C-alpha cells in the first residue's frame, strides 16, 4: 500500500534524494549502470535512476521526474510513493514504463537495462537497490494473485511489442584449430585482460549467418580461411552478468589441424591479438579463467569423440 498522507509529509521533510523504481508489465526492473567517476557512490554497480533534491523541486516526486528527464529524456505518467530507506534519506517512487531503454538519450551513467528480479544475484547491485526491487516484486506478486482474472494483462501483443518482451542476446562464432599433435591454438588478446586467451572468432554482424561470421573473423584475425563445409563442435550459452548485460549464444566450428608451416604463416591483427600459441590442453588451464578453460575442454572433447558439445555453464558473472 502507498504511504499515508502523514507518511508522505514525513518523506518531504526528511528525505534529501529520490529514486525511481521503474518496472514493466513483464515484471522487469530498469537499472542504471553507474560510471567510474571520482566521488561517485557505487561506481560500476547497477542502481536506480534518481538523484538529490534541488531547491527548485516542489516535491520529491518533482525530483524524480526532473532526474528522469535530465538523465534519460524520460517523461512518465504515473509516479507513486513506494518506500523510504531505513536511514530516511532516500524516497523511492514506483514508476510504470513499457519502453525500450536503448531508445533513450542517456546523459548520465553507462547504460539502462531491464532485469528480472531473478537476475539480480548475477549482477553487482547496490544492496539497498536489491532490497527495494525484491520487496516491490513480492508486493506485485501478492497483488497479482489477488486480482480478478479479467483484470490480468492481455496475453496477445502486436509483433513489434512482443519483440520487446523476448530474450535479448548477442551471438558469436569461432573456429577451433589444433596443430598436428592435437594441441589447441589460441590467440592472446590485447584488449581483454579478464579473458586473455581466445579461440579464433568473434561477434556476429547483423545479417550474417554463423559460418559466415566464423570465416570473416578467421580471415581478419589470422589471414587464414577455414576449410568447409562447416562442422559444428559445440554450442555455447552464457547468462548475462556484470561484464555484459545480455545472454550470449555461440557456435564453435572445427577448423582442423594446422601444420607448423601454416601456424608460422598466421597473420595477426595487432589491434586484437599479439600472439598465437599452441599448447597441450592441460597447459592452458593455468593461463585462463576456470570457465574459459572448461569451455575449451568441452570443445576439445567434442573433437576427440566426434559428438558435438552443449555447454551452458559459461557466464558473464565475475
Q: Is the pLDDT of residue 150 over 50?
A: no
Q: How big is the CA angle at 275 (ends 247 and 214), to the nearest 5 degrees?
A: 40
79-93, 152-166, 169-183: the lowest-pLDDT one: 152-166
- Residue-range domains of the chain with CATH: 5-157 (3.90.79.10), 169-315 (3.90.79.10)
Residue 227 DSSP symbol? P
Kind of pairing, strands 79-84 and 50-52? unpaired
Kindly list the distances between the CA atom of residue 195 and the CA atoms of 263, 267, 291, in Å, as whole numbers in the listed order: 22, 21, 10
Backbone angles phi, psi at 150, to 5 degrees: -70, -15
Quick one: pLDDT band at residue 68, thresholds 50, 70, 90? very high
Quick one: pLDDT band at residue 26, thresholds 50, 70, 90? confident
State mean pLDDT over 200-223: 95
Give the residues across from 89 on adjacent strands: none
Residues 6+ positions from 232 with CB-CB distance below 8 Å = 251, 252, 253, 254, 308
Quick one: pLDDT band at residue 179, thresholds 50, 70, 90? very high
Nearest Cα to Cα of residue 199 among 272, 296, 305 = 296
Kind of pairing, strands 17-23 and 90-96? parallel
Q: What is the mean pLDDT of the chain?
A: 86
Q: Is the pLDDT of residue 119 over 80?
A: yes
> What percent of the chain clears pLDDT 70, i.e. is strictly above it?
86
Residues 6+ positions from 242 with CB-CB distance below 8 Å = 122, 123, 124, 316, 317, 318
pLDDT given for residue 269 in this prediction = 93
| Count of positions (residues) in the chain | 318
> Exposure pattern of 236-272 as b/e (b: 16+ CB <10 Å)?
bebbbbbeebbbbbbbbbbbeebeeeebeebebeeeb
Nearest Cα to Cα of residue 57 among 112, 18, 29 = 18
- Is the four-CA dihedral 105, 163, 153, 144 of positive or negative sign? negative
pLDDT given for residue 182 in this prediction = 96
> What percent of the chain clears pLDDT 90, i.e. is strictly above it?
47
Comparison of pLDDT for 181 and 2, the residue scoring more: 181
State mean pLDDT over 127-149: 77
81-85, 126-130, 151-155: the lowest-pLDDT one: 151-155
On the CB side of 43, how many CA atoms lie within 13 Å of its CA?
6
State mean pLDDT over 225-244: 88
Amino acid at each position: 500500500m502507498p504511504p499515508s498522507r502523514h507518511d508522505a509529509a514525513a518523506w518531504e521533510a526528511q528525505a534529501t534524494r529520490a529514486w525511481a523504481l521503474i518496472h514493466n508489465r513483464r515484471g522487469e526492473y530498469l537499472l542504471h549502470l553507474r560510471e567510474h567517476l571520482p566521488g561517485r557512490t557505487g561506481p560500476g554497480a547497477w542502481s536506480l535512476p534518481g538523484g538529490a533534491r534541488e531547491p527548485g523541486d516542489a516535491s520529491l516526486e518533482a525530483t524524480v521526474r526532473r532526474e528522469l528527464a535530465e538523465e534519460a529524456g524520460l517523461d512518465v505518467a504515473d509516479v507513486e510513493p513506494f518506500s523510504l530507506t531505513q536511514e530516511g534519506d532516500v524516497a523511492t517512487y514506483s514508476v510504470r514504463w513499457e519502453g525500450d531503454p536503448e531508445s533513450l538519450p542517456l546523459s548520465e551513467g553507462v547504460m539502462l537495462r531491464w532485469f528480472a528480479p531473478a537476475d539480480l544475484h548475477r549482477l553487482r547491485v547496490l544492496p539497498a537497490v536489491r532490497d527495494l526491487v525484491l520487496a516491490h516484486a513480492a508486493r506485485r506478486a501478492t497483488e497479482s494473485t489477488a486480482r480478478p482474472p479479467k483484470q490480468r494483462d492481455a496475453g496477445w501483443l502486436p509483433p513489434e511489442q512482443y519483440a520487446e518482451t523476448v530474450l535479448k542476446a548477442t551471438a558469436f562464432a569461432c573456429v577451433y584449430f589444433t596443430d598436428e599433435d592435437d594441441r589447441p591454438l589460441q590467440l592472446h588478446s590485447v584488449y581483454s585482460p579478464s579473458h586473455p586467451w581466445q579461440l579464433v572468432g568473434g561477434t556476429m554482424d547483423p545479417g550474417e549467418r554463423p559460418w559466415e561470421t566464423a570465416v570473416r573473423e578467421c580471415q581478419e584475425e589470422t589471414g587464414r580461411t577455414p576449410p568447409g563445409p562447416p562442422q559444428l563442435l559445440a554450442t555455447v550459452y552464457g547468462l548475462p552478468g556484470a561484464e555484459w548485460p545480455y545472454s550470449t549464444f555461440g557456435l564453435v566450428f572445427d577448423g582442423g589441424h594446422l601444420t607448423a608451416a601454416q601456424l608460422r604463416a598466421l597473420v595477426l591483427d595487432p589491434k586484437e591479438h599479439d600472439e598465437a600459441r599452441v599448447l597441450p590442453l592441460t597447459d592452458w588451464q593455468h593461463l585462463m579463467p576456470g570457465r574459459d578453460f572448461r569451455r575449451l575442454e568441452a570443445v576439445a572433447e567434442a573433437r576427440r569423440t566426434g559428438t558435438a558439445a552443449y555447454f551452458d555453464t559459461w557466464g558473464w558473472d565475475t
